[in-house]
Amino acid sequence: MKLLIINGPNLNLLGLREPGLYGRETYDSLCARIAEHAEARGAECEFYQSNHEGDLVDAIQGALGDADGIVINPGAYTHTSIALLDAVNAVKIPTVEVHISDVNAREDFRKISYIRAGCVASVIGHGTNGYLEAVDLLLDRLEA
């Protein structure tokens, strides 16, 4: 099994960025933890982060024929991007949406997620451990 872990804008600044909301774990440390978690279940992870919407669309399209599942935190593009929704619907690769913070308990504009309609599940507000939960959800589903 191969999973593609995609992170959108500003998530490269994890650890530094608003730690009260997103915690103190760095992006690199998070990726290492996700890889280790997936490896323990016999799965491989590839990581991609970009601050640019079109690059995220390209990454989703590039997963076609390569990844069995996608974990994505689209950052602020969650609340604006129909292009990301169209991309996950186009490739039809099971995708889980992750948000580190509880977007439902923040500003109203964060309650809207366009990509959610194309995802098999969402993990919201569980901190960076939410990515591990997303990996488990995907692997459980792919192994079933």
For residues 76 and 120, which CB has a smaller minimum distance to ligand DQA in the complex? 76
Residues in the chain: 144
β-bridge pairing 121-124 and 95-99: parallel
The footprint of ligand DQA (CB under 6 A) covers: 10, 73, 75-76, 78, 99-101, 103, 110
Rounded to the nearest whole angstrom, what is the least distance from the CB of residue 114 to ligand DQA in the complex? 12
For residues 36 and 102, which CB has a smaller minimum distance to ligand DQA in the complex? 102
CB-CB contact of 6 with 48 (8 Å): yes
Report the candidate in 35, 42, 32, 52 with the shortest Cα–Cα distance to residue 1: 42
Q: Which residue in 48, 77, 99, 131 is the catalytic one? A: 99
Respond yes or no: is residue 77 known to be catalytic. Answer: no
Query: Could you tell me the two tokens for 96?
Result: 């889980």
For the chain, how big is the Rg over CA atoms in Å? 14
For residues 33 and 110, which CB has a smaller minimum distance to ligand DQA in the complex? 110
Respond yes or no: is residue 79 known to be catalytic. Answer: no
Rounded to the nearest whole angstrom, what is the least distance from the CB of residue 99 to ligand DQA in the complex? 4
